[in-house]
Amino acid sequence: MSQTLTERSQPKSQKVSFPSGDGFVVASLYLPESYDSSCRYPAVVVGGSLSSVKEQMAGNYAGELARRGLITLALDYRNYGESSGAKRQYEDQASKTEDLSAALIFLKGRADVAGTGLLGICTSGGTVLYAAAKDPSVGAVAAVAGYFPDPGLLLMMFGGEAAIEQRRAAGREARKRYEETGVIETILAYSPTDTTAMSTSPSEYYMDPSRGGGVRAWRNEFAVMAWEPWLDFDPLAQAAHVTAPALIIHSDGSAFPDQARKVYERLAGPKALAWLEGGHYDFYDQASTVRQSADRLATHFCDRLA
């Protein structure tokens, strides 16, 4: 059985913060084990899945890439974890894209940084495409087990237009309530059985207290008023605008593999597709899968950002 990676499995990090939008982002900064302040290193910002915090899968990849000679930054997006934001657990790709850009600015301000890139796991695999499409200074981008929805996939997932509109209406009502009262209505983000959850699926990573479910800073909550921006999330439409060198790591057992192939086909710049073995959540914290992915990621980023 593969070893399960946790924050304690990774090198020691430094907590940093930097401004983003009308607030601030808190992140964990990882340095290479043989770090020399007189040298310059490739640097990568790492974001995780919907609702996740930096101590989960983003931290695993940030730590593994630091072991391979990169400076990395695993972040809490605003409204999550230790970062600022009044709309807690609010999923908003515009805000998250802004946070990724702010993280790149933070890294570029360091004397020990050469080029900068973006890595996203699951939902952030799509979010980094938004950022890379918008910011031509992104030196390289990568997605691991990315979630790449488009309108057609959503129709299949939710069972038709009426079900989607029902969620949008609930989101509008929750937003109105928040604006009037300041109360944030939430539902479960993940559940294997509760059909009112944002995602009703096995969700073993989040249900297991020895894995992601045991991370204290993580909350299994989704702000209902986020339904509209969440349903508008369409990274597939962004792919054609991404000219930065890109690496897509996926598997037949990861979320919607055909969507990953579509993203790869649409990417406009130099690109590579690595098809590995493993289930979706194996890419979050199972040592053999994460480290195999990290080997490929390190080569990709070091070749492009050194």
Q: Where are the domains of the chain?
A: 7-152+234-305
Average pLDDT value for residue range 15-34: 97
- CB contact at 8 A, 247 and 274: yes
pLDDT at residue 48 greater than cutoff 80: yes
pLDDT at residue 2 greater than cutoff 80: no
At residue 304, the pLDDT reads 97
At residue 260, the pLDDT reads 98
Average pLDDT value for residue range 200-216: 95
pLDDT at residue 172 greater than cutoff 90: yes
- CA-CA distances (angstroms) from residue 79 to 13, 25, 129, 130, 171? 22, 9, 21, 19, 17
Average pLDDT value for residue range 224-253: 98
Fold of 7-152+234-305: Rossmann fold (3.40.50)
pLDDT at residue 79 greater than cutoff 80: yes
**Residue 228 and residue 194: Cα distance in Å, rounded?**
21
**Residue 75 and residue 54: Cα distance in Å, rounded?**
5
Phi, psi (rounded to 5 degrees) for 136: -70, -10
pLDDT at residue 211 greater than cutoff 90: yes
Average pLDDT value for residue range 176-201: 96
Q: What angle do CA 302, 305, 306 make, to 5 degrees?
A: 70
At residue 10, the pLDDT reads 86
**Residue 2 and residue 192: Cα distance in Å, rounded?**
23
At residue 305, the pLDDT reads 98
> Has this prediction a pTM greater than 0.95?
yes
Give the tens place of pLDDT for each residue, 90-136: 999 999 999 999 999 999 999 999 999 999 999 999 999 999 999 98
At residue 1, the pLDDT reads 53
Q: Assign residue 57 a region: left if phi > 0, alpha if psi is -120 to 50, beta otherwise? A: alpha
Quote the strand ranges of the chain, DSSP E.
14-20, 23-30, 41-47, 71-76, 113-121, 140-144, 186-187, 190-191, 199-200, 222-223, 246-253, 271-279
- CB contact at 8 A, 53 and 25: no
Nearest to 106 by CA among 225, 221, 230, 18: 18
**Residue 256 and residue 250: Cα distance in Å, rounded?**
9
Average pLDDT value for residue range 2-31: 93
Please report which confidence band the pLDDT of residue 138 belongs to, taking 50, 70 and 90 as the band edges. Answer: very high
